[in-house]
Amino acid sequence: MSTEHATPLLIVDDDPVFSRVLARALTRRGYHVATASSADEALEVARRHQPALATIDLKMEGRSGLTLIPELKALLPELNMLVLTGYASISTAVEAIKLGATNYLPKPADADQVLAALQQNSPDAETPVTESPMSVNRLEWEHIQKVLGEYEGNVSATARALGMHRRTLQRKLAKRPVRQ
């Protein structure tokens, strides 16, 4: 497919391997893909590339992907943004949507899942509701993320609010989130 009429898509992720694999898969599906590895680089690329779709990693070196969402929305009001992250939590999903993201998807996700999430512009009332409750470890992870969001990412203030030693909280934050 010719890239001159292809839909422009921006991938913002600081993992070069993931970006390269996803970009290759989306290019094969007919998209004109540009990549950026930081929030600041993403703004520069978006100005030049004018994407219609974007995937944004939540946790990157430097600024968070959450800070990028309103900036991209101001630059390109019609941009459909998907927050794609290995650090998924309910509080960050809610915040991403409030800030203007179209959808939110936990990693790992393949190109077809990414495209389906990007093309879903309205809520799906048919989304299945899980029968099993979250594990205690997952509930703890979600609660920590919620409190961390309330304290705008300040680890010391969050640790105080949770009645937890700062180093203990840092260890918990360094781990990948537990499965549901």
Which pTM value belongs to this model?
Answer: 0.69
Profile the chain (180 residues) by mean pLDDT over runs of 10 residues: 74 90 93 95 96 90 88 94 79 83 83 87 51 66 76 86 89 68
Taking only the tens place, the pLDDT of each residue in 34-72 is: 999 999 999 999 999 999 999 998 888 888 888 999 999
pLDDT confidence of residue 178: 56
Residue 54, Cα to own-chain centre: how many angstroms?
10
Residues 6 or more apart whose CB falls under 8 angstroms from that of 139 comprise none
Domains of the chain as residue ranges with CATH: 8-119 (3.40.50.2300), 136-174 (1.10.10.60)
